[in-house]
Amino acid sequence: MPRNTTTKAASKRSSGTAQKSDETMLKELFLDELKDIYWAEKHLTKALPKMSKASTSQELSNAFQNHLTQTEGHIGRIEQVFELLDTPARAKKCDAMEGLVKEAQSLLEELPKGTMVRDAGLIIAAQKVEHYEIAAYGSLVQLAKTMGENEVADILAQTLDEEKQTDQLLTELAVSGINLGAEEEPEE
């Protein structure tokens, strides 16, 4: 019967001696997500120079270059957070970021060099990356607040803002001409 099942499950939960508190589990979840984004940011420092080099327009190339500098700052902030939480800074492979970067690479293989279509493709790939980061940092900021770690929340909120600004800049670059240029290009 459903009622019995619930009671059994509840007593099983409370009887475990090595039972972790919700607080501990929340901190573990937070650290796990922090390790994920730490890996992702480090991975991006290798991808962004390639994206900058692959860009056709100088504006897009500069945007990637500037975001590389910001990304190095994001890594520094994550290390600051690890320190505040008395935990060694460790990265944990982020399959999602690995996949997003792979997608960007295959786009570059498909799209001809020196075209605005290539830039349009790069912007799409980069915005997917930014949206992943926005989701990750948005969640981390919320979790930190729930944990009462307001300093940590403030530090990560700065990065969240920069990711949002970058996403916005990429939209502006697309709207301001790259997509239009791509449409006007003669088909092969």
Classify residue 148 as left (phi > 0), alpha (psi -120 to 50) or beta: left
Cβ closest to Fe ion, residue 6 vs residue 165: 165
User: Measured from the CB of residue 63, what is the shortest distance to Fe ion in angstroms?
Assistant: 11
Cβ closest to Fe ion, residue 59 vs residue 167: 167
Q: What is the DSSP string of 2-54?
A: HHHHHHHHHHHHHH-TTPPPHHHHHHHHHHHHHHHHHHHHHHHHHHHHHHHHH
Q: What is the DSSP string of 107-159?
A: HHHHSPTT-HHHHHHHHHHHHHHHHHHHHHHHHHHHHHHHTT-HHHHHHHHHH
> What whole-number distance in Å separates Cα of residue 40 and Cα of residue 85?
20
Q: Is 36 in the site for Fe ion (CB under 5 A)?
A: no
Cβ closest to Fe ion, residue 117 vs residue 152: 152
Cβ closest to Fe ion, residue 51 vs residue 111: 51
User: Measured from the CB of residue 140, what is the shortest distance to Fe ion in angstroms?
Assistant: 12
User: Measured from the CB of residue 75, what is the shortest distance to Fe ion in angstroms?
Assistant: 8
Binding segment for Fe ion (CB under 5 A), chosen from 6-14, 63-71, 106-114, 142-150, is: 63-71
Footprint (CB under 5 A) of Fe ion, residues 112-171: 133, 163
Residue 76 neighbours by CB under 8 Å, 6+ apart = none
User: Measured from the CB of residue 74, what is the shortest distance to Fe ion in angstroms?
Assistant: 4
Number of residues this chain uses to bind Fe ion (CB under 5 A): 4
Return the number of other C-beta atoms located less than 10 Å from residue 118's C-beta: 23
Closest CA to 146 of 23, 9, 47, 60: 23
Using Cβ positions, the residue closest to Fe ion within the complex turns out to be: 74
Footprint (CB under 5 A) of Fe ion, residues 64-93: 71, 74
User: Measured from the CB of residue 61, what is the shortest distance to Fe ion in angstroms?
Assistant: 16
Binding site for Fe ion (CB under 5 A): 71, 74, 133, 163
